[in-house]
Structure 1
Amino acid sequence: MIRPEARDVNVNGIRLHVAALGEGPLVLLCHGFPETSHAWRHQLPALAQAGFRAVAPDLRGYGASDSPADAAAFTTMDVIGDLVALVESEGADDAVIVGGDWGANIAWQAAQLRPDRFRAVAALGVPMMRRAPVMPSRLFPKTESAAFYTHYFNEPGVAEREFERDVNATLRAIYFAASGEAGPRNDPSTPNPFGMVANGRGLLDSLPIPETLPAWLTPSDLDIFVQSYRSSGFRGGLNYYRNLDRNWALQAALDSKNVDVPALYLVGERDTGLAIPGMDQIINAMPDIVPRLRAAAVIPGAGHWLQQEAPGEVNKALIDFLRGI
């Protein structure tokens, strides 16, 4: 297998580390949390072989990319600015943007905001949705005994200390618990890393640490993620969550604006997001705000790390979509 080229690119005032492979129309691949560009290791060669230029950056704050000191520098708009500049650095007029988890949210808004630069969008896991009626800090639940994980992530330094104590155990726990191998989401015994965190405890306290890795994650692949987070820490990725309210405020400028480019949506049957009340209705309502949605498919047995768990299905759907536009 041909290895992707690894290089650093100066964009939007920061340095992004990218993995790239192939020649042809540009496709940007945006990872989520806690991942890096290595999450797209199966898509880079498949897209290159299909005749596309596939580029996967470590988003700002992740991996070998720069991580600004100011937590306020991690809004969705900052990241979209990086990606617009990355398209230009590739000498391209536009790109198809693909994202999973946080990367999906960024991809949707990039296509919504800059259809001149992002001519199509594919999102894994996170559907396109209208701006919430209230800011996230008021929307997500918080009780006397527990708080939604986004509240836990918002406390500076707290999640960092927990996650960086044993990076290997942290990633094994989160990757397994959010994967399809953890079990069906309608089973209350299935662990969920993206749920409520009991007061005085950590997010990892309720998660099992599997003795064996999920079938989709090899020891060498896990080691690449572990070494990356040992180097970068978790602060950059957590700062995305610390800008949820700011993102909500900025999103007011896009109120009632549709995503008007061709779109694809894929979700794992056992994605953690499907356990959120009302998610079915949000997904079913997507054609109202994404009128050029070409397809929305559920991948049986897969969980939240869709491109890693079901690379064959994802690659086929992406290539069919790209060739169709």
Structure 2
Amino acid sequence: MPRSDWQEVTVTSNGQRIHLRVSGDSGPLVLLCHGFPESSYAWHHQLDALGAAGYRAVAMDMPGYGRSAKLQQPSDYRITELVAYCVGVVEALGESTAVIVGHDFGAPVAWASAWTRPDVFRAVVGMSVPFGARGLAALPGDPFGDVRPTLTHRELAGPGLTFYQDYFADRSGKAEKEIEQDLRTFITSGFYGLSADSPLPPELNGVDLTSLPPEHVIGFVRAAMCVPDGEGFAVNLQSPETLPGWLDHETLDIFIAELEFGGMRSPLAWYTNADLNWEVLAQYQGQPLTVPAMFIGGDRDVATIWSQEARLRAAEYIPDLRGSVIIPNCGHWIQQEHPETVNQELLTFLKGL
């Protein structure tokens, strides 16, 4: 539900307009970075809890989303620029440091921010996607980006399929056209289909999806997150007869209205930079992520499932990993499906800093 006591703030960061939802007037700064296809409102449960606990909680409309600037070139959404926007928001708010938290594509932004700018980001929490170094997405078979991402994508997808990130990145506009022609249905199906409320295939009932053998992980990703030739991404999604209990109509309407206003071109442009991100982060490969860190995933979250290798090998890069939490019966929309658990884990982590 919209909160009248939140502040709606617009700042200039990295030369562009960034819209913020802010809870709490003082206290340590916690910067919240959403993913695709959401907005700062994705953190409405966390804004309330963190603000009430004495933190200055700030949720960004990430560049290209909500009421933030829509950038002209796809390369304007490369990871180093996204990190610069996060740094700029901290500075615009009159602070010198912050804890950064990210979910979905916001998780790689948060990890990269803490990895490359530990002088600003004194701790980090990644949700859904664990640390993937220069590869960002922590993909099976190449969790830390030793291979150019688009090559990994093609091998992961196999013949007759396109990994969803490459489908979204195709600048011919196929994904944009698919989503825009019935935005409400796509977004509703996406929230439901990637949540723990959508039924599993019978053969996966009772299976611990977060510890699948590697070959089964590949099969799972191909079935859930790859697009067959001649099809659209919606073939992987399910439409609900009724909304799940964690997603009310008012919240869904807010997300859809913000996407209708800004359009899908900018959010999809983030995905065009997989190889460019890999190139610009090359200088950091092999360096540890030194600040205190935490990962939160869901046992039914497709990204948590595909990234198990990165999660299990996290100590190779993160010497101060203070927790790796997998929430039961939780799909991709972690902070909304299980807000109380997420809030508790975040507050425990923050109090320990």
TM bracket, shorter-chain basis: over 0.9
Superposition deviation, residue 184 in structure 1: 4.9
Measure the CA separation in 1 of the matches of 2:262 and 2:19.
13
User: Does the 8 Å contact 1:42/1:307 carry over to 2?
Assistant: yes
Q: Secondary structure at the match of 1:35?
A: coil
Q: Secondary structure at the match of 2:325?
A: strand
Aligned twin of 1:196 = 226
1:239 aligned to 2:269?
yes
What amino acid does structure 2 have at the position aligned with 1:209?
S
Summarize the alignment of residues 12-27 of structure 1 with structure 2, pairs less than 5 Å apart: 12-22=14-24, 23-27=26-30
What amino acid does structure 1 have at the position aligned with 2:235?
D
Superposition deviation, residue 321 in structure 1: 0.6
Measure the CA separation in 1 of the matches of 2:119 and 2:191.
35
Aligned twin of 2:254 = 224
Report runs of 4+ in structure 1 exceeding 3 Å deviation: 183-194
Measure the CA separation in 2 of the matches of 1:194 and 1:17.
33
Aligned twin of 2:215 = none
Q: Secondary structure at the match of 2:84?
A: helix
Aligned twin of 2:142 = none
Aligned twin of 1:161 = 177
Describe the shift of the 1:17–1:185 C-alpha distance in structure 2 as closer, same or farther (beyond 3 A). farther
Summarize the alignment of residues 119-268 of structure 1 with structure 2, pairs less than 5 Å apart: 119-131=122-134, 132-141=145-154, 142-156=157-171, 157-184=173-200, 187=203, 195-268=225-298
Q: Secondary structure at the match of 1:242?
A: helix
RMSD, matched Cα? 1.9
What amino acid does structure 2 have at the position aligned with 1:137?
T
User: Does the 8 Å contact 1:272/1:304 carry over to 2?
Assistant: yes
User: Does the 8 Å contact 1:8/1:17 carry over to 2?
Assistant: yes
Further displaced range: 97-106 or 206-215? 206-215
TM-score by length of 1: 0.95
Superposition deviation, residue 280 in structure 1: 2.3
Q: Deviations over 1:193-232 (max 9, x none)?
A: 9611011111013322112112111000000001001011
Q: Deviations over 1:47-66 (max 9, x none)?
A: 01100000001000011110
Measure the CA separation in 2 of the matches of 1:274 and 1:5.
33
Q: Deviations over 1:150-194 (max 9, x none)?
A: 121121211111101111101111111111112458956999896
Measure the CA separation in 1 of the matches of 2:30 and 2:263.
28
Measure the CA separation in 1 of the matches of 2:194 and 2:320.
30
Aligned twin of 1:33 = 36
Measure the CA separation in 1 of the matches of 2:267 and 2:202.
28
What amino acid does structure 1 have at the position aligned with 2:55?
F
Measure the CA separation in 1 of the matches of 2:313 and 2:304.
15
1:302 aligned to 2:302?
no
Q: Secondary structure at the match of 1:18?
A: strand
Unaligned runs of 5+ in 2: 135-144, 210-219
Q: Secondary structure at the match of 1:19?
A: strand
1:70 aligned to 2:73?
yes
Further displaced range: 238-247 or 199-208? 199-208
Summarize the alignment of residues 84-95 of structure 1 with structure 2, pairs less than 5 Å apart: 84-95=87-98
User: Does the 8 Å contact 1:268/1:304 carry over to 2?
Assistant: yes
What amino acid does structure 2 have at the position aligned with 1:80?
V
Which of these residues, 312, 326, 334, is aligned with residue 284 of structure 1? 312
Measure the CA separation in 1 of the matches of 2:101 and 2:262.
24
Describe the shift of the 1:182–1:258 C-alpha distance in structure 2 as closer, same or farther (beyond 3 A). same
TM-score by length of 2: 0.88
Aligned twin of 2:138 = none
Measure the CA separation in 2 of the matches of 1:186 and 1:89.
51
Measure the CA separation in 1 of the matches of 2:6 and 2:262.
21
Unaligned runs of 5+ in 1: none
Measure the CA separation in 2 of the matches of 1:69 and 1:241.
15
User: Does the 8 Å contact 1:185/1:270 carry over to 2?
Assistant: no
Measure the CA separation in 1 of the matches of 2:200 and 2:122.
35
